[in-house]
C-alpha cells in the first residue's frame, strides 16, 4: 500500500523530502478536495495525509472502507482544533483507541 500526501506547497515538499513519492501541492481546500477524491478512488493507497486546515474545510469525505486511512496533519501554525485525527484513525483501523489518549 502506498502513502499519499495532500497539502500546501511547503507540506508537499517536506513530504517528498521525507520519502513520500506522491505528494500533491494544492493552493486551497477546493483543490485539496479534488485531490482527495482522486486518491480515494485509487485501490493501492493505504494512507492519505491531508493538511488539517484543508481537511477541516472538506465536507465529510466518503471513505469506502477501512482503508485508506485519512489523517489530518497540522501545518506550521499548529493544529486545527477538534478531535485528534491520529487517534481517530487508529480507532477506525484497530477498533480501539491509543493507550493514554482519551476520546
Q: Indicate whether 100 belongs to any domain.
A: no
Query: Any idea what the CATH number is for the domain that residue 38 is in?
Result: 3.40.50.10580
What is the model's pLDDT at position 36? 94
**If you ran DSSP here, which 8-state letter would residue 87 be given?**
H
What is the model's pLDDT at position 1? 85
Q: Which domain holds residue 40?
A: 2-94
Distance CA 24, CA 31 (A): 10
Q: Indicate whether 37 belongs to any domain.
A: yes
Q: Indicate whether 101 belongs to any domain.
A: no
pLDDT tens-place values along the chain, 103 residues long: 899 999 999 999 999 999 999 999 999 999 999 999 999 999 899 999 999 899 888 887 777 677 788 888 887 766 666 555 556 666 666 665 555 555 5
Q: Indicate whether 27 belongs to any domain.
A: yes
Q: Indicate whether 52 belongs to any domain.
A: yes
What is the model's pLDDT at position 20? 93
What is the model's pLDDT at position 29? 94
What is the model's pLDDT at position 91? 63
Q: Indicate whether 57 belongs to any domain.
A: yes
Q: Indicate whether 85 belongs to any domain.
A: yes
Q: How many residues can be counted in the chain?
A: 103
Q: Indicate whether 72 belongs to any domain.
A: yes
- Give this prediction's pTM: 0.75
Helical (H) or strand (E) element with 49 = strand 45-51
What is the model's pLDDT at position 96? 58
Number of domains in the chain: 1
What is the model's pLDDT at position 59? 82
Amino acid at each position: 500500500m502506498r502513502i499519499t500526501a495532500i497539502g500546501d506547497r511547503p507540506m508537499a515538499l517536506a513530504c517528498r523530502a521525507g520519502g513520500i513519492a506522491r505528494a500533491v501541492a494544492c493552493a486551497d481546500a477546493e483543490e485539496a478536495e479534488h485531490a482527495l477524491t482522486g486518491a480515494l478512488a485509487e485501490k493501492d493507497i493505504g494512507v492519505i495525509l491531508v493538511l488539517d486546515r484543508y481537511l477541516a474545510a472538506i465536507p465529510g469525505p466518503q471513505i469506502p472502507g477501512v482503508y485508506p486511512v485519512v489523517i489530518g496533519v497540522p501545518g506550521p501554525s499548529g493544529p486545527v482544533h477538534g478531535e485528534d485525527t491520529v487517534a481517530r484513525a487508529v480507532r477506525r483501523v484497530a477498533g480501539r483507541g491509543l493507550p493514554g489518549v482519551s476520546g
